[in-house]
Amino acid sequence: MSKNKNEEKTNVMRVLDQANISYLPHFYGDTDAISGKEVAEVLKQDPERLFKTLVAVGKSGEHYVFMVPAEVELDLKKAAKSVGEKNIEMIKTKDLLPLTGYVHGGCSPIGMKKSFKTIIDYSADNYETIFFSAGKIGYQVEMNVWKLFDLIDIDLDDIVDWKKYL
């Protein structure tokens, strides 16, 4: 996308720059795109490469971050199993900003107020690069998923019921 005068570096981009991790910034703030599918269309990308960042809390009280392709849902049973919890539930939207520093629609696994165990769906390994929020609505970063391992506590696991989408 062309540079827009409203574009700026987000905290996520600054963290990546500081860690010397390469990424491509993408801006879509000059559109009405809201859903993952709409954002993927604006960016002319496969929606399965665009990952959303979800925050959940386990029965233990621990918080976890899960990243899944934007058009699918997190399988809560698989997600709980992946982090060794009996069960998990999504946090309330009103709790997202105080916990992570991010608003709904602009949540990124990078640069949260506190580090949380992060699980990304194994489907991310199908792509050279994936897209996810750059920490602000209207901004995405594209990068190699394996570079995230250099920055945050992350694992790949099967956290989507893919049979629902076939």
**Helix (H), strand (E) at residue 40:** helix 36-42
Supply 110's token pair: 């990078």
Name all contacts of 19-24 with Cβ < 8 Å and 24+ positions apart: 19/150, 19/151, 21/143, 21/147, 21/150, 21/151, 22/143, 22/144, 22/147, 23/141, 23/142, 23/143, 23/147, 24/129, 24/141, 24/142, 24/143
Note whether residue 60 is domain-resident.
yes
What does the pLDDT average to over 84-106?
95
Cβ atoms of 91 and 100 closer than 8 Å: no
pLDDT higher than threshold 90 for residue 159: yes
Q: Give Cβ neighbours of residue 15 (< 8 Å, ≥ 6 apart).
A: 110, 111, 151
- What CATH number is attached to the domain comprising 79? 3.90.960.10
Q: What's the domain count of the chain?
A: 1
Q: How far apart are CA 1 and CA 42, in angstroms?
A: 9
Note whether residue 11 is domain-resident.
no
What does the pLDDT average to over 50-66?
97
Note whether residue 137 is domain-resident.
yes
Supply 119's token pair: 């699980």
What does the pLDDT average to over 50-67?
97
Supply 35's token pair: 């859903």
Q: Which residues constitute the domain of residue 85?
A: 24-160
Q: What pLDDT is stored for residue 2 in this prediction? A: 41
Q: What pLDDT is stored for residue 37 in this prediction? A: 82
Cβ atoms of 141 and 7 closer than 8 Å: no
What does the pLDDT average to over 16-45?
88
Note whether residue 32 is domain-resident.
yes
